[in-house]
């Protein structure tokens, strides 16, 4: 965990290897999760091109280490709050790929039966308390979930993921101040993928680390980590979760990462300088982690088995979703009010 | 039976719900130690402690976000937005987050919270602290919208709002805080979506909300005493759900409908009700529905100008007479 302004931690294999506190089982899990996220999103993109994934789609290819690191570190009863770029975070909590893909394909087998769409993935059963498509709000909402835990004496932690662009909206600042002054068990995780939609975050932000550099304004330590290394993310997540569970208040963690694809479906990301993507592909989290498993003595066969199982899972999900019907018409007017009807009249 | 002011009724209503259910928590700016800027929450901090009655920073988004996050995970929060005009500062929550949660998650999550807010004119505060904004909330699917006119209804409707499984925006009228009224002893719980006939009459139906209810009653008394027109006055109380049965039933008997709104004229709630009546009771009507509103203006600060903007007893009488004689 690096804690100084302007010193984003870089990959340091020696240090990571020397500090083997994670254990092989968790490492295999971290790899499996990253591979599944990668396969899932590549498939989502293919299905989008076939017009089977409708509406829009915000991929987080290249950012898998963050979702996997937190997913592996969180307890089952912890709560996650995601953005519209939330496929990986939803999968990371154990939500079946079929349910997520069904929602992307707007089928009746989707998580919200097609009523929410890709930007609103929610699975209460798995602690995924929603994906929020207007940036900023969910930091404040995560505070409320954390407040509930604090008030009732429960020790689950609310973890809120957001992008670098969110750091310039008022709700980010309101939420951090509020969480700090109430000492809430909440963790704010900034996925700094260098782009605020189509615009480099540096062009619209006067500090190098848009989240971490502002943390001190709210009495929090400035934490910047390499978001492409699942081990580093996992360790940092564990520390912040332990701190929150112990009643020692919120954390803000800025994870430096890179989005391999554009902002959303329609964006070919032509605004990126030449060579930038290639440099980041060298630091692809899935690739880094595969190499690390080999260094830890995991066999090629075992790694291949994980990869094959992931592909099988995604293929099965795809077939199931293709076969699933669209949501029935009667869903149109349900769930507006608690009584199950849409009427606002007595 | 006790006589309470409208502001005391607010504190009483909150206390009634907090005593009943430990999950009820209350947050807002200056609501705790200071007792609220309108003194409508005096004594709650002392009675329930800082864990349940929490002062917040001036951060309307953080307040409503915290209320929502707590509501969707099991608490029953009450959040205060000091002036209803400030709802615009946190409109994302009111328009996009609370009301759509149940729908977008296909019923996995709900948002049972109450936002209390000081609404309405009469205090000479000018255009950014005087608006009646219940129309803003009324048009959003998923919200419930309540506006009581008396201390008794504050208690009964507030209890219903807190116990309701959907998000409720509870509009308290600032110019009613000092108004007094009888509040029965013991627990009072009303049903949302029930309008109240506050004066029976045969010749015309006048609908009003909040501060305008007492003006509508005074106008009806004047119409009866001086002009022989016996008007029924209905306190709408809740815009969503809306008690169209009571309204349509009254219009069927009287044949005339007047709405008295403290809103800018465009898209006021009276327009919606006029439309419903035109759709469903057109042949009961003996004349066009008449909407008595403020002009389509921001509210002025000067007392003479603010008085000119709001519907007055005389203006209500004059509009009814013009339509009926």
pLDDT at residue A337 tops 90: yes
Q: State how far the Cα of A295 lies from the Cα of B194, in Å rounded to an integer.
A: 71
| Two tokens, residue A76 | 């089952």
Enter the ipTM: 0.96
Residues of chain A contacting residue B240, judged by C-beta atoms under 8 Å apart: 344
pLDDT in tens, B231-259: 999 999 999 999 999 999 999 999 999 99
What is the value of pTM for the model shown?
Answer: 0.95
- The 3-class secondary structure across A172-195, one letter per residue, is HHHHHHHHHHCCCCEEEEEEECCE
Query: pLDDT per position in chain B (325 positions), as tens?
Result: 899 999 999 999 999 999 999 999 999 999 999 999 999 999 999 999 999 999 999 999 999 999 999 999 999 999 999 999 999 999 999 999 999 999 999 999 999 999 999 999 999 999 999 999 999 999 999 999 999 999 999 999 999 999 999 999 999 999 999 999 999 999 999 999 999 999 999 999 999 999 999 999 999 999 999 999 999 999 999 999 999 999 999 999 999 999 999 999 999 999 999 999 999 999 999 999 999 999 999 999 999 999 999 999 999 999 999 999 9
- Please indicate whether, in this complex, the C-beta atoms of B59 and A174 are within 8 angstroms of each other: yes
Helix axes A24-49, A300-323, angle to 10 degrees: 40
Listed residue (B53, B189, B23) closest to B116, CA to CA: B53
Closest partner residue to B241 among A116, A182, A346, by Cβ?
A346
- What's the pLDDT score for residue A7? 40
Is A20 near chain B, with CB under 8 Å? no
pLDDT at residue A14 tops 70: no
φ, ψ of residue B207 to 5 degrees: the values are -100, 135
Q: Mean pLDDT, chain A, as a whole number?
A: 93
Rounded to the nearest 10 degrees, how much is the dihedral formed by the CA atoms of A293, A297, A300, A304? -50
- Please indicate whether, in this complex, the C-beta atoms of B68 and A130 are within 8 angstroms of each other: no
Q: State how far the Cα of B15 lies from the Cα of A93, in Å rounded to an integer.
A: 39
The three-state secondary structure class of B204 is strand
pLDDT in tens, B31-69: 999 999 999 999 999 999 999 999 999 999 999 999 999
Q: Which helix (H) or strand (E) holds B251?
A: helix B244-254
- What's the pLDDT score for residue A63? 97
- What is the distance in angstroms between the CA of the first residue and the CA of the last residue of chain B? 42
Q: Which entry of B12, B45, B129, B173 is annotated as an active-site residue?
A: B129
Count Cβ atoms below 10 Å from residue A197 Cβ, excluding itself: 14
CA distance B165 to chain A (A): 6
- Please indicate whether, in this complex, the C-beta atoms of B66 and A143 are within 8 angstroms of each other: yes
Q: Which helix (H) or strand (E) holds B250?
A: helix B244-254
- What's the pLDDT score for residue A8? 41
Q: Identify which has the larger pLDDT, A268 or A234.
A: A234
pLDDT in tens, A126-156: 999 999 999 999 999 999 999 999 999 999 9
Q: State how far the Cα of A228 lies from the Cα of A255, in Å rounded to an integer.
A: 8
């Amino acid at each position: 965990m690096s804690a100084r302004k302007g010193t984003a931690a870089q990959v340091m294999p020696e240090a990571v290897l020397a500090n083997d506190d994670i254990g092989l089982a968790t490492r295999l899990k971290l790899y499996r999760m990253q591979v599944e996220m990668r396969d899932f999103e590549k498939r989502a993109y293919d299905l989008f091109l076939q017009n089977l994934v409708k509406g829009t789609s915000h991929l987080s290819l290249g950012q898998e280490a963050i979702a996997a690191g937190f997913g592996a570190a969180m307890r089952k009863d912890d709560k996650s709050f995601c953005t519209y770029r939330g496929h990986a975070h939803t999968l990371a909590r154990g939500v079946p790929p079929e349910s997520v893909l069904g929602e992307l394909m707007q089928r009746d087998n989707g998580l919200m039966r097609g009523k929410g769409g890709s930007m609103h993935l929610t699975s209460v059963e798995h602690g995924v308390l929603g994906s929020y498509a207007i940036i900023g709000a969910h930091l404040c909402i995560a505070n409320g979930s954390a407040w509930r835990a604090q008030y009732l004496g429960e020790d689950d932690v609310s973890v809120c993921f957001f992008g670098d662009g969110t750091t310039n909206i008022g709700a980010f600042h309101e939420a951090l101040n509020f969480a700090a002054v109430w000492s809430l068990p909440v963790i704010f995780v900034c996925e700094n993928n260098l782009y605020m939609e189509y615009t480099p975050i540096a062009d619209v932000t006067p500090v190098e680390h848009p989240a971490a550099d502002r943390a001190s304004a709210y009495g929090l330590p400035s934490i910047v980590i390499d978001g492409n290394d699942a081990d580093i993310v996992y360790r940092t997540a564990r520390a912040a979760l332990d701190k929150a569970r112990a009643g020692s208040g919120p954390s803000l963690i800025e994870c430096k990462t890179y989005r391999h694809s554009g902002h959303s479906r329609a964006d070919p990301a032509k605004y990126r300088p030449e060579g930038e993507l290639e440099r980041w592909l060298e630091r692809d989290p899935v690739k880094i982690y595969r190499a690390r498993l080999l260094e830890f003595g995991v066999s090629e066969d075992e790694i291949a088995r994980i990869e094959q199982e992931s592909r099988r899972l995604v293929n099965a999900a795809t077939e199931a979703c293709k076969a699933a019907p669209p949501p029935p018409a009667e869903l149109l007017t349900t769930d507006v009010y608690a009584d199950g009807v849409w009427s606002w009249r007595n | 039976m006790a006589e309470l002011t409208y502001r005391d009724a607010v504190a009483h209503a909150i206390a009634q719900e907090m005593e009943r259910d430990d999950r009820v928590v209350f947050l807002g700016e200056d609501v705790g130690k200071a007792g609220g800027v309108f003194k409508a929450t005096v004594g709650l901090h002392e009675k329930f402690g800082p864990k349940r009655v929490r002062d917040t920073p001036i951060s309307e988004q953080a307040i409503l976000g915290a209320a929502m996050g707590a509501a969707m995970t099991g608490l029953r929060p009450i959040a205060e937005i000091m002036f209803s005009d400030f709802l615009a500062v946190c409109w994302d929550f009111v328009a996009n987050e609370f009301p759509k949660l149940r729908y977008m998650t296909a019923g996995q999550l709900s948002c049972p919270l109450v936002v209390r807010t000081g609404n309405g004119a009469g205090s000479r505060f000018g255009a950014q602290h005087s608006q009646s904004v219940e129309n803003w909330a009324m048009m959003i699917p998923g919200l419930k919208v309540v506006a009581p006119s008396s201390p008794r209804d504050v208690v009964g409707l507030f209890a219903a709002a807190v116990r309701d499984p959907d998000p409720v925006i509870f509009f308290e009228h600032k110019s009613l805080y000092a108004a007094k009224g009888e509040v029965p002893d013991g627990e009072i719980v009303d049903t949302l979506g029930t309008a109240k006939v506050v004066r029976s009459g045969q010749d015309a139906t006048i609908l009003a909300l909040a501060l305008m209810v007492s003006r509508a009653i005074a106008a009806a008394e004047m119409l009866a005493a001086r002009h022989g027109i016996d008007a029924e006055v209905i306190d709408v109380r809740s815009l969503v759900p809306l008690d169209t049965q009571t309204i349509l039933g009254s219009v069927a008997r009287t044949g005339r409908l007047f709405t008295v709104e403290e809103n800018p004229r465009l898209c006021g709630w009276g327009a919606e009700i006029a439309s419903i009546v035109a759709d469903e009771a057109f042949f009961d009507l003996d004349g066009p529905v008449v909407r008595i509103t403020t002009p389509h203006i921001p509210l002025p600060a000067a007392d003479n100008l603010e008085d000119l903007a709001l519907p007055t007893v005389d203006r209500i009488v004059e509009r009814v007479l013009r339509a009926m004689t």
